[in-house]
Structure 1
Amino acid sequence: MNFKVLKSETVFHGKVFDVKLDEIEYNRTGNKAIRQTAIHPGGAVIIPVTNDGKLVFISQYRFAHNETLLELPAGKLEKGEDPKLCAERELKEETGYSSSKITKLGKIYTTPGFCNEVLYIFLAKDLIDGDHAREEGEEGIELKYFTLKEIDEKIKSGEIVDAKTISAVYMYKVMYNV
């Protein structure tokens, strides 16, 4: 590192994230700067794949953008939670599916310029149908099933714009040569 932290404090405690304010000093010049970081517990994204090769998406209203988005199931980690358990929970909660064949594909940093959020990406195969267990506010979720070709077209057309979903689909395609 080319700097040292002079002062660090959490200036906001929220339900989803906190905000940390750091005062730093660059080693070479002695110049000072302020860094604000959104502190997020991270989350898990799961790519459910049906036996016929379709990916299970959810259609979900997102308050911050005031629109309904096509996304892969995902959710926030509870404090100290294993990301795989989070992925399993979100799969069941949002889609009703479960799976005993869940594989970790990797992780992504969502917005490293100002946030420490890490999303862990998982693949679920051999899906077992069941009842969903949606939380309050998730009642309007609809399941959508797409081939990879259909997903590519929806990304090209701007119908799929969710970054975690695009990243996870790409990771799946690269790692499984599909």
Structure 2
Amino acid sequence: MPIETGESAGNPWTVLTSTTRYENAWMEVIEHKVLTPKGVPGIYGVVHPRSIATGVVPIHEDGSVTLVGQYRFPLQQYSWEIPEGGGRKGVEPQESAARELREETGLTARRWMPLMTLHLSNCLTDEVAHTFVAWDLEQGLSAPDETEVLAVRRVPFAEVIDMVMAGAITDAMAVASLLKLRVLAAEEALPDDLARRLRV
């Protein structure tokens, strides 16, 4: 059965005016005066990041995954995640993901595969994320940003999936990417040398 995309319906919103209400080096908050799909006047605020988001699942030879832990200010709580960060628009997402992987963990990867493109919290923001799986890793020195206090740990892939299912990992990019990787492994849809690592 074909998947209904709804794309043929077009945009049911009418934008009357758009005003920047707040901006800094990382984002802009735009308030749109609109007519809703039912023709009712209203406002719609959109958070517009100035960069794209990237994430990478690094798979070691023994099948373990490097996770990064840090305190997330907006949530006021600690979070275990895959290595993630922002990248400049116009730069290839894999290049930005590789930079974040190196900065946060010291790892570089010889093999890469795209996992997915995500829209994060799409009722509030137009932020786009691109995630990857990386393997054939080499360890070097990390160089976190001055705003980052990071913990790094290696966890067997099966235990990482258990963490997702138990709610110990809640970051959207991490959850979606890890579960997609698990499905691809179950469907034998991964390159042989990566699949072998996940069977260890």
AA partner of residue 54 (structure 2)? A
AA partner of residue 169 (structure 1)? L
**Is 1:149 aligned to residue 158 of structure 2?**
yes
1:77-134 CA-to-partner distances (Å, cap 9, x unmatched) read 2242221111000010000000121111111111011111111011111001111121
In structure 2, C-alpha distance between the alignment counterparts of 1:109 and 1:32, rounded to whole Å: 26
SS of corresponding position for 2:108: coil
2:34 counterpart residue number: 24
Equivalenced residue count is 176
2:53 counterpart residue number: 43
Aligned in 2, Cα 1:7/1:134: closer, same or farther, shift over 3 Å?
same
Runs of 4+, deviation exceeding 3 Å: none
TM-score normalised by L of structure 1: 0.90
**Is 1:173 aligned to residue 182 of structure 2?**
yes
SS of corresponding position for 1:100: strand
SS of corresponding position for 1:137: coil
Most deviating of 114-123 and 6-15: 6-15
1:89 counterpart residue number: 99
Which runs of no fewer than 5 residues in structure 1 stay unpaired? none
1:22-64 CA-to-partner distances (Å, cap 9, x unmatched) read 112247x542121111101221001100011111101212222
Aligned in 2, Cα 1:3/1:146: closer, same or farther, shift over 3 Å?
same
In structure 2, C-alpha distance between the alignment counterparts of 1:59 and 1:18, rounded to whole Å: 27
In structure 2, C-alpha distance between the alignment counterparts of 1:69 and 1:31, rounded to whole Å: 40
TM-score normalised by L of structure 2: 0.81
Which runs of no fewer than 5 residues in structure 2 stay unpaired? 1-10, 187-197
In structure 2, C-alpha distance between the alignment counterparts of 1:119 and 1:94, rounded to whole Å: 18
1:72 counterpart residue number: 82
1:133 counterpart residue number: 143
SS of corresponding position for 1:75: strand
8 Å Cα contact 2:52-2:89 kept in structure 1: no
1:61 counterpart residue number: 71
In structure 1, C-alpha distance between the alignment counterparts of 2:154 and 2:39, rounded to whole Å: 55
Q: Report how far residue 76 of structure 1 moved.
A: 1.0
In structure 2, C-alpha distance between the alignment counterparts of 1:174 and 1:158, rounded to whole Å: 18
Aligned in 2, Cα 1:21/1:148: closer, same or farther, shift over 3 Å?
same
In structure 1, C-alpha distance between the alignment counterparts of 2:57 and 2:137, rounded to whole Å: 11
1:97-108 alignment to 2 at 5 Å?
A: 97-108=107-118
In structure 1, C-alpha distance between the alignment counterparts of 2:27 and 2:132, rounded to whole Å: 23
1:7 counterpart residue number: 17
